[in-house]
Structures are given as structure tokens and as C-alpha cells.
């Protein structure tokens, strides 16, 4: 039984370069923090995300990426995958999750959603590299 599906974005659902791909490609160009990004969104990416949502429920499908939060959110917007912000785990979120405690404090804890043995990550990397 699968609890959650995590999609990697770079090289799985999209391909991004820091320079234009060239003539004849349907590139999406965007700027972030003063840099230009040229992105190809895989034609089937929206269907794959929708299929996984149908399989385990929309509340159990996430983006999990080593990219920055701002980059992941911008790709999500451009690709129209419609992930809520709390369904995007970026490099800032991967190892520890900071949350508010009573009386205005905060603490960190390992993210339980990411750590389940019944989760599936869909990524281009060999499984030995997906730790």
C-alpha cells in the first residue's frame, strides 16, 4: 500500500537550463533572483501528476526536490500542477521541519510525511542516491 507519492521535478517532470535550448523548442523562460531559467515541461507531466492524485488522493501527492522553495513554487505555477505550498518540499524542508510551538517559540523535528517506508519517490536518480 502506498501512503504518499513524491515527484522530483528536475529531469523528471521538467528540464531546465541556464541558457536557451535553441530554435524549435517550446521553452518557458522565467527570471528568479536575477537569473534566467529556460525550462521544458514534459508533455505528460500534468497527466502523471493527475494520475498519481487519483491513485492515492490529492492530499497524498507532493513535490520533493533539492531545488529552492522559490524555484519549485515558480515551476509549479508555470506548469499548472496546482500543488499547494505545503505540498512542495524543497531543499529548505528536506532534513528538518520547523514549526511553531506554544508561547511564540519554534522547534525542529524530522518530517514524518517524508520519512514513511510506504512512500514512493519518482525520480530520475538511481535508488541508491535517493536517501
- 99 falls in which pLDDT band (50, 70, 90)? low
Instruction: Identify the helix (H) or strand (E) that includes residue 30.
Output: strand 28-32
Q: What is the pLDDT of residues 50-71, one digit of tens each?
A: 999 999 999 999 998 989 999 9
Strands 14-17 and 35-41, sheet pairing: antiparallel
Place of cell 492515492: 56
Q: Which residues of 74-105 are buried (b: 16+ CB within 10 A; e: fewer)?
A: bbbeebebebeeebbbbeebeeebeeeeeeee
If one counts every other C-beta atom within 10 angstroms of the C-beta of residue 106, the result is 8
Q: pTM for the complete prediction?
A: 0.78
Most confident residue range from 4-8, 14-18, 114-118, 119-123:
4-8
Amino acid at each position: 500500500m502506498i501512503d504518499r507519492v513524491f515527484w522530483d521535478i528536475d529531469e523528471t517532470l521538467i528540464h531546465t537550463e541556464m541558457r536557451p535550448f535553441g530554435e524549435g523548442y517550446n521553452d518557458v523562460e522565467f527570471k528568479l533572483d536575477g537569473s534566467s531559467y529556460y525550462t521544458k515541461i514534459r508533455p505528460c507531466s500534468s497527466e502523471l501528476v493527475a494520475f498519481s492524485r487519483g491513485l492515492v488522493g490529492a492530499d497524498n501527492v507532493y513535490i520533493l526536490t533539492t531545488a529552492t522553495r522559490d524555484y519549485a513554487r515558480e515551476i509549479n505555477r508555470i506548469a499548472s500542477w496546482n500543488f499547494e505550498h505545503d505540498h512542495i518540499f524543497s531543499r529548505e524542508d528536506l532534513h528538518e521541519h520547523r514549526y511553531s510551538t506554544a508561547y511564540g517559540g519554534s522547534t525542529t523535528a524530522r518530517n514524518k510525511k517524508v520519512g514513511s517506508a510506504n512512500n514512493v519517490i519518482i525520480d530520475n536518480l538511481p535508488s541508491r542516491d535517493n536517501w
